C-alpha cells in the first residue's frame, strides 16, 4: 500500500529540514512525499530544492491558508492512505510508517499518539483507544499528525472545510468518525512529535477555536450542542493554554 505524506510550510525554514528528514528516513519505502509551500521568503524554497530528489511533488505559491494548502496536497496525492505531517512536526522514529501499515488492512483510519517536549523530557499524549462518536460528541478525537486515513475517504469528505480556519482538521476527523461503517484501528505507539507553536496554541486564537467548534456542532450535530457546552465551556481554552504554558 502506498502512503502519501503531505507537508505544508510557510516561512518555517528552521524546522522544515527536520520534518523532511524524518519522512525520507522512514524504513517503509512505498511513500509518496508532497511538500506544499505558501511562497515562503525565508529560504524554505532552498531547503525544498536541496531535497528535490526525495520529494515526489512540491510547489511554492501563495495559498489561502493552512487548510487550503492541505487541500492542494490532497488533490495531487495518489497514495492509498494519507498522513499530514506539517512543517515543524516530525516522526518519532524511522519505523513509524512500517508499524502503522501493519494495521491498515481493511481499516479506513489507523491512528496513534503524539508527543511534545517539556524541556528535554518527551511527553506522550495517548489517543482514545475506542472512538464512540455516536454516543456523544467526541472530545478526544485523534490528532491529524498521528492519523493515517484512506485517500478515498478523505475525498468523500471533500478534504478540509476551509470555512473553519483553525479547526478544519478536527471537523474532518469528526465527520469521518461519524460515518456509519467507517472502521478504525488504534496503534498504541508514538507516531509524531508535535510542534507546540502552531495556530491552535496561540493565545489570540483560543476564543476563535471555541467559536469554530460551536459553529461546527450547531451546523452538523446540533443534538450535541449541550454536550459541547458542558465539556468545552468557552473559558476552557484559556485553562488549556495556561496548562500548556506550565508544562512546556
Domain boundaries of the chain, sorted by first residue: 3-196
The DSSP-derived string for the chain is: --EEEEEEESS-HHHHHHHHHHHHT-S---EEEEEEE---SSSHHHHHHHTGGG-SEEEE---SSHHHHHHHHHHH--SSEEEE--BTBEESSTTHHHHHHTT-TT-SEEEEEEEEEETTEEEEEPPPSS--GGGS--S-PPPGGGEEEEHHHHHHTTS--TT-TTTHHHHHHHHHHHSTT--EEEEEEEEEE--TTSGGG-GGGHHHHHHHHHHHHHHH-GGGHHHHHHHS-TTHHHHHHHHHHHH-
pLDDT in tens, the chain (248 residues): 999 999 999 999 999 999 999 999 999 999 999 999 999 999 999 999 999 999 999 999 999 999 999 999 999 999 999 999 999 999 999 999 999 999 888 899 999 999 998 888 999 999 989 887 666 556 678 999 999 999 999 999 999 999 999 999 999 999 999 898 999 999 999 999 997 665 555 555 667 887 888 888 888 888 777 766 666 555 554 544 454 444 44
pTM higher than 0.75 for the full model? yes
Indicate the fold that domain 3-196 takes in CATH.
Spore Coat Polysaccharide Biosynthesis Protein SpsA; Chain A (3.90.550)
Amino acid at each position: 500500500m502506498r502512503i502519501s505524506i503531505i507537508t505544508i510550510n510557510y516561512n518555517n525554514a528552521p524546522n522544515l529540514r527536520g520534518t523532511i528528514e524524518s519522512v525520507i528516513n522512514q524504513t517503509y519505502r512505498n511513500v509518496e512525499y508532497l511538500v506544499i509551500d505558501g511562497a515562503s521568503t525565508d529560504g524554505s524554497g532552498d531547503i525544498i530544492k536541496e531535497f528535490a530528489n526525495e520529494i515526489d511533488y512540491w510547489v511554492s505559491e501563495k495559498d489561502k491558508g493552512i487548510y487550503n494548502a492541505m487541500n492542494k496536497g490532497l488533490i495531487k496525492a495518489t497514495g492509498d492512505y494519507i498522513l499530514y505531517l506539517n512543517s515543524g512536526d516530525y516522526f518519532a522514529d524511522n519505523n513509524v510508517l512500517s508499524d502503522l501499515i501493519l494495521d491498515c488492512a481493511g481499516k479506513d483510519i489507523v491512528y496513534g499518539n503524539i508527543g511534545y517536549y517539556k524541556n528535554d523530557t518527551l511527553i506522550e499524549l495517548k489517543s482514545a483507544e475506542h472512538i464512540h462518536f455516536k454516543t456523544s460528541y467526541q472530545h478526544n478525537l485523534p490528532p491529524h499528525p498521528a492519523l493515517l486515513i484512506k485517500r478515498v475517504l478523505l475525498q468523500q469528505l471533500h478534504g478540509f472545510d476551509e470555512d473553519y480556519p483553525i479547526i478544519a482538521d478536527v471537523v474532518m476527523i469528526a465527520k469521518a468518525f461519524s460515518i456509519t461503517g467507517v472502521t478504525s484501528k488504534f496503534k498504541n505507539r508514538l507516531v509524531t512529535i508535535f510542534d507546540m507553536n502552531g495556530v491552535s496554541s496561540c493565545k489570540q486564537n483560543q476564543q476563535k477555536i471555541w467559536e469554530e467548534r460551536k459553529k461546527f456542532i450547531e451546523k452538523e450535530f446540533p443534538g450535541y450542542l449541550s454536550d459541547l457546552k458542558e465539556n468545552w465551556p468557552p473559558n476552557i481554552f484559556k485553562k488549556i493554554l495556561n496548562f500548556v504554558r506550565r508544562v512546556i
